[in-house]
Amino acid sequence: MTSSTVEFTPIRVAIVEDDDEIRANLTHRIGGNPAFRLARSFPDAESAVSELPRHGVDVVLVDINLPGMDGVECVRQLKSRLPEAQFIMLTVYEDNNRLFKSLMAGASGYLLKRTPPARLLAAIKEVHAGGSPMTPQIARRVVQHFRHAPTADSGLERLTPREFEVLEQLSKGLRYKEIVDQLGISVGTLHSYIRKVYEKLHVHSRTEAVVKYLNR
């Protein structure tokens, strides 16, 4: 009964989107699906940064081109206060510069706003399970960019054997539940290891950590 309850616990989702129509559409699709629970919805980054940390949330959908504080800065500030939350950037264009800034800020996914609704909902489940949802084109750009980035002080040598093992599992694309089962540890312990890995590698997302591992 306990495992069944955990398995079907709705994913708590928050939305940060200034376009009223798009925000309403996202609210309708997420709020009307039993797999999710709409935690909060915000029209701007400032109100999200001010109010969201007081609420429990698993995944945050963030418009990258917000008025005032943009989506990248919104993620950067929220990630430090909600380290367990996962962020998916929503954008109209495949902007390389903003894409990489978003990943550096702590985003784990990057999707175009024209992404089909079914794919968007699947991406929320994917990022919550430890994945990094992106279109194939965007994923290729990420890999190509980081392959040519300087890797002088990777920080890998500072990892403990167990932390390195966790990073290795992340690099295989395994979901958090799969890593927990593979290593025989709790979800809380896994999150603790991941935070330490991020700190030692000076990264903010799974993508950055994995790229450093692959470029070692």
Q: Judge whether 1 lies within some domain.
A: no
Higher pLDDT, 21 or 207: 21
19 and 126, same domain (yes or no)? yes
Identify whether 89 is part of a domain. Answer: yes
| Residues contacting 34, CB < 8 A, separation 6+ | 10
Residue 39: both structure tokens together: 């935690």
Q: Label residue 153 by pLDDT band (50, 70, 90).
A: low
Supply the pLDDT for residue 87: 94
Q: Per residue in 39-88, pLDDT tens?
A: 999 999 999 999 999 888 999 999 998 989 999 999 989 988 888 899 99
What is the pTM assigned to this prediction?
Answer: 0.68
22 plus 123 within the same structural domain: yes
pLDDT at 17 over 60: yes
Among 8, 78, 77, which residue's Cα sits nearest to residue 40?
78
Per-position DSSP letters for 25-46, written without gaps between them: HHHHHHHT-TTEEEEEEESSHH
Question: Half-sphere exposure of 158 toward its Cβ, with a 13 Å CA cutoff?
Answer: 12
pLDDT at 139: 72
Dump pLDDT digits (tens) for 188-212: 899 889 888 988 888 877 877 887 8
In a domain, 2, yes or no: no
Q: Would 23 be classed as within a structural domain? A: yes
181 and 113 belong to one structural domain? no
**Last residue within a domain, chosen from 145, 173, 188:** 145
Give the pLDDT score at 2.
45
Question: Are residues 99 and 173 both part of a single domain?
Answer: no
State the CATH number of the domain containing residue 132. Answer: 3.40.50.2300
Residue 71 domain-assigned (yes or no):
yes
Q: 59: which residues sit within 8 A by CB, 6+ positions away?
A: 11, 12, 13, 14, 85, 86, 87, 88, 124, 127, 128
167 lies in the same domain as 74: no
Total structural domains within the chain: 2
Query: Residue 22's domain spans which residues?
Result: 7-145
pLDDT at 30 over 90: yes
Give pLDDT, residue 4: 43
pLDDT at 9: 87
Q: b or e along 76-87 (b: 16 or more beta carbons within 10 Å of the residue's beta carbon)?
A: bbbbeebeebbb
Please indicate, yes or no, whether residues 81 and 161 belong to a single structural domain of this protein.
Answer: no
Average pLDDT of the segment spanning 150-169: 81
- What does the pLDDT look like over 86-124, one tens digit per residue? 999 998 876 667 777 888 788 888 888 888 889 999 999
